[in-house]
Amino acid sequence: MACNSIPQKLPAPLSKALEELDASIASRPEQEYRKQERINALKSSFQIARSYQDRFALARNLVEEYSPYNFDSTLAWIGICRSVAQKANRPNGIAWTTIKQGEILANAGYYTESYYVLSEQVDSTALPDYLLPDYYYSLYRLADNIVENSLGCEGNLHLDNPQTYMEKLLQLYPEDSYDWKYMHISLLASQQQFEKARIENAALLGSIDKKSHPYAKSAWVESVLCDSLGLESEKILWEVTSAKADFINVVKDYASLTLVAKDLIDIDIDRSFRYIQMALEDAVFYNAKLRPWKISHYLIRIQRAYEQTVLKNSRWLKVFTLCLTLLAPLLIASVILLAKMMRSATRSKKDLNRLNNHLTEAYSELQRANADLSEANSIKEQYIGLFLSQLSENINKIKAIESNVIKQLRYGKVDQLLKEMIASTTVEEEIDAFYDSFDTSFLAIFPNFVEQFNSLLEESSKIVLKKGEKLNTELRIFALIRLGIEDSNTIADLLKYSVRTIYNYKVKIRKAARIPREKFNKKIHEIG
């Protein structure tokens, strides 16, 4: 790979496009501030909303705000959205949250988890018509991402090819909608009808706002079509256009800027380095596993380009040193040129050191993420087993009750039925049974949890369990936190306490800790 230490003169259209992109990047703090203001306003409205329709709509809007911005926050608000629907007993609302979770996991690279959610937790035959496009779009994103990014470990996922889902979506979307046009263009591209796809995409680009997220998506499609047709200069212009719209819309999960950085390696290495560094920072902020993994490949290429730049400058230094020795009359001119080359070499070495540091940090982040993912997968597998067992037991109980009620009503034994219902298991007993099942399962995974937890507390505040107790309320709260469930609303729902009670328990325990709060929270996650 050839690489110049001094940027080549860029073609005028590309130079102008890159200047506009730099202006969009410079305005990013202002755009992020506006986005955070929108998010805060939605959260405030959600806190005071009372009706199901208002709370669900606001939570759903927050999911959409976060989905291109932060992976963890998106999943958190999907969980809140599901909780709202569950409390109101709205199966369609629950179904939407499940479908959206599958889509987000697929886009982030969690293919097995996405497949489990979409295939095991969604009954497509029971979905209303208005949710079918969302369902099949999530399956399309999963299948398409696997085809594009598969590492060969998804062979046990039984999916149709992406084209099948595209054709299904074209039957469901209104033909005058953006979604239909976007999907039809994607289908044409998958069939290698690139010229026809470009004609339709040009019309679509002309009909939508250039500062919108859909414009960023369609500009990205245009760059892919140009690449397929060998139109290199047009391809990079559309990548830059897509990246500019991404920054205007404060998108953190993107591919466009990464590809711009890759395409600039040979012609503007400084800009390439700056863009790939920014793309990595945004990918780490978004906090999903797919994007940093893909960016790491380009980081390595850029590092090699810098190494070649340093080597080339070193060779030139040797040549000019020899010239100075042999051509004394040209000493002044040679000294000036040598100084320029030395400054360039110094900058290149500093940039290379900076890049090496970023690479080290990126690899460390990836290693930590992989370790956390392995631990989370182990815990998740055991708790999926517990969940399925508990769910099966509850279904059997419901079936037994239903069968008995039908039988008693059929024979007119209403009084007898009433007596049996009064004498049946109370909600409190079911809660106690849930606590016991949770305690047993959790301690099977973390047998030394109580001892290690107590070691974090002052001697006078250590928790002493009563005879026969496995965990008490305080321990259960921090057991859930150890499992990654930190939201007080979610913990309150699971343990059947008020949010205020959960908050008070947390404050009480943290005041009793022997170490500062930040270290205490970290130590909780290290138990095991």
Angstrom CA distances, 113 to 33, 68, 427, 490, stand at 33, 19, 32, 21
Q: Rounded to whole angstroms, how far apart are CA atoms 228 and 244?
A: 22
Residues 6+ apart with CB under 8 A from 56: 81, 84, 85, 88, 90, 93
Q: Is residue 496 part of a domain?
A: yes
pLDDT of residue 398: 65
Q: Rounded to whole angstroms, how far apart are CA atoms 247 and 250?
A: 5
DSSP labels for 354-419? HHHHHHHHHHHHHHHHHHHHHHHHHHHHHHHHHHHHHHHHHHHHHHHHHHHHHHHHHTT-HHHHHH
Domain that holds residue 441: 426-526
Q: Is residue 515 part of a domain?
A: yes
Single-letter amino acid code for the residue at 167: E
For the chain, the domain total comes to: 1
Which one, of 202, 280, 207, lies nearest residue 238 by Cα? 202
Q: Is residue 441 part of a domain?
A: yes
User: Alpha-carbon dihedral of residues 446, 451, 456, 460, nearest 10 degrees?
Assistant: 150
pLDDT of residue 383: 54
Q: Rounded to whole angstroms, how far apart are CA atoms 403 and 407?
A: 6
User: Per the confidence metrics, is the pTM higher than 0.85?
Assistant: no
pLDDT of residue 266: 86
pLDDT of residue 275: 94
Q: Is residue 517 part of a domain?
A: yes
Place of tokens 């209303």: 128
Report the DSSP beta bridge partners of residue 457.
513
Phi-psi region of 152 (alpha: psi -120 to 50; beta: other; left: phi over 0): left
pLDDT of residue 4: 45
Q: Is residue 468 part of a domain?
A: yes
Helix or strand (DSSP H, E) at 513: none
User: Alpha-carbon dihedral of residues 228, 229, 231, 234, nearest 10 degrees?
Assistant: -70
Q: Is residue 180 part of a domain?
A: no
Report the DSSP beta bridge partners of residue 513.
457
Single-letter amino acid code for the residue at 495: L
Encode the chain (528 residues) as per-residue pLDDT tens digits. Answer: 444 444 567 889 999 999 999 999 999 999 999 999 999 999 999 999 999 999 999 999 999 999 999 999 999 999 999 999 999 999 999 999 999 999 999 999 999 999 999 999 999 999 999 999 999 999 999 999 998 876 554 556 788 899 999 999 999 999 999 999 999 999 999 999 999 999 999 999 999 999 999 999 999 999 999 999 999 999 999 999 999 999 999 999 999 999 999 999 888 888 998 999 999 999 999 998 778 878 877 877 876 776 776 576 666 566 555 555 665 555 566 657 666 766 765 675 676 667 567 656 655 665 664 555 455 555 555 555 555 455 556 656 666 666 777 777 787 777 776 776 666 656 677 788 888 888 888 888 889 999 999 999 999 889 999 888 889 999 999 999 988 888 888 888 888 889 899 989 888 988 889 989 888 888 888 887
pLDDT of residue 240: 97
Length of the chain: 528
Which one, of 292, 285, 286, 344, lies nearest residue 314 by Cα? 344
Single-letter amino acid code for the residue at 209: D
The answer to whether residues 112 and 157 touch, using CB atoms and an 8 Å cutoff, is yes
CB atoms within 10 A of CB 160: 13
Q: Is residue 433 part of a domain?
A: yes
Q: Rounded to whole angstroms, how far apart are CA atoms 96 and 119?
A: 14
CB atoms within 10 A of CB 295: 23
